[in-house]
């Protein structure tokens, strides 16, 4: 009888121990490569705002091996991860400078995750104001930023204005992943200028093609605003037009290779919705759209949501994000609205990205 009693007590104690372990394990999560706050929140059925509040986060930036609390309770085990949060950022400045050469398909967020740093830190070290980078570009990853404060010495603003109109004529060789809009943006010119200088009638360019970059005419810029100001629409208005057009196409049949209201595939649907609203995008496939956009941590209406490993390996499907965790896409047998909470899309979710052309 005593043996039976002891056995029951031991079994219940073991169950209590195991239950306690499970409860503790579910209160925290270690960040993996490719994670985002949205992805972690979705997988653990909590909100991004709660995650940020529980972990004292002031932005959406996270890094691999960071331990995040998944609820509001505080335990001794969960308070320890705050220590590495302070030691990790302080280590890079004392180490030697590290550089990285951008490859086709890279984004700032991807490079930051690979080197356990932040997008903001890379932008500050390389004097980058946006998210635009290009293949072959060398980025400084850590160390001290280059001495860019010296240009503040020339207090005479007259000198910078004269060299600009006299910028020498140059050329640019197209690399994989380039678009006319991306090249124009990097050189501070317009797509129309590039087309005129190189006798290009379409947006089609190819790897190895040498494009002429003419002198920039600075004096001509003050006059166009009088004409161009009335027709221009705000970016938010453009986004609304894109989403409204996309929503009006619900029920259009899915047609492989289709890019018209007679039938769409997923990339043809994106091309139609964006190009009809003045966004400079070529007719390409899903991988092409992926290469022409940069990753964002917090999606906005009008961004593109990408999925991988659906009918083929790698990036294979995309739709337009319309808010409330939903997106519209040409999938299945028609154009339709789906939820990112659905198990299938949740399983194949890859990233939110924004077109450089936007």
Active site residue 187: no
CA distance 293 to 304: 9
CA distance 49 to 224: 44
CA distance 307 to 318: 6
Q: 315 forms bridges with which residues in the sheet? A: 308
Evaluate whether 44 touches 60 at the Cβ level (below 8 Å). no
Name, in order, each residue with C-beta under 8 angstroms of 128's C-beta and a sequence gap of 6 or more: 108, 122
Q: Which entry of 115, 187, 329, 348 is annotated as an active-site residue?
A: 329
Q: Which entry of 203, 290, 317, 348 is annotated as an active-site residue?
A: 317
CA distance 262 to 320: 19
CA distance 79 to 155: 50
CA distance 159 to 354: 37
Q: Which entry of 115, 266, 290, 348 is annotated as an active-site residue?
A: 266
Half-sphere exposure of 147 toward its Cβ, with a 13 Å CA cutoff?
2
Evaluate whether 325 touches 337 at the Cβ level (below 8 Å). no
Number of C-beta neighbours around residue 259 at 10 A: 18
What kind and span of H or E run contains 338? Answer: strand 334-339
Which positions are catalytic?
266, 317, 329
């Amino acid at each position: 009888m005593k043996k039976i009693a002891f056995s029951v007590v031991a079994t219940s104690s073991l169950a209590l121990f195991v239950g306690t372990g499970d409860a503790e394990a579910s209160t925290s999560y270690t960040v993996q490569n490719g994670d985002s706050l949205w992805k972690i929140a979705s997988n653990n059925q909590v909100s991004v705002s709660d995650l940020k509040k529980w972990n004292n986060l002031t932005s959406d930036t996270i890094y691999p091996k960071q331990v995040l609390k998944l609820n509001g309770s505080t335990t001794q085990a969960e308070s320890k991860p705050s220590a590495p949060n302070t030691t990790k950022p302080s280590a890079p400045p004392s180490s030697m400078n590290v550089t990285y050469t951008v490859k086709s398909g890279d984004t700032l967020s991807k490079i930051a995750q690979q080197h356990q740093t932040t997008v903001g830190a890379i932008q500050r070290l390389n004097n980058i104001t946006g998210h635009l980078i290009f293949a072959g570009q060398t980025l400084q990853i850590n160390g001290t930023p280059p001495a860019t404060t010296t240009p503040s010495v020339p207090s005479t603003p007259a000198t910078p204005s004269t060299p600009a109109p006299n910028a020498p004529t140059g050329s640019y060789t197209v690399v994989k992943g380039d678009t006319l809009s991306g090249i124009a943006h990097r050189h501070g010119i317009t797509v129309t200028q590039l087309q005129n200088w190189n006798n290009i009638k379409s947006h089609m360019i190819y790897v190895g093609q040498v494009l002429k970059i003419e002198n920039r005419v600075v004096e001509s810029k003050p006059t166009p605003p009088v004409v161009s100001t009335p027709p221009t629409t705000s970016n938010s208005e453009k986004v609304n037009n894109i989403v409204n057009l996309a929503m009006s196409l619900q029920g259009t049949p899915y047609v492989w290779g289709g890019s018209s209201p007679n039938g769409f595939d997923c990339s043809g649907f994106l091309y139609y919705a964006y190009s009809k609203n003045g966004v400079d995008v070529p007719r390409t496939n899903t991988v092409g759209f992926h290469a022409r956009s940069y990753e964002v941590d917090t999606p906005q209406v009008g961004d593109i949501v990408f999925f991988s490993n659906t009918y083929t390996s790698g990036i294979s499907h995309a739709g337009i994000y319309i808010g409330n965790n939903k997106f519209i896409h040409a999938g299945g047998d028609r154009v339709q609205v789906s939820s990112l909470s659905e198990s299938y899309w949740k399983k194949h979710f890859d990233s939110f990205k924004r077109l450089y052309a936007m």
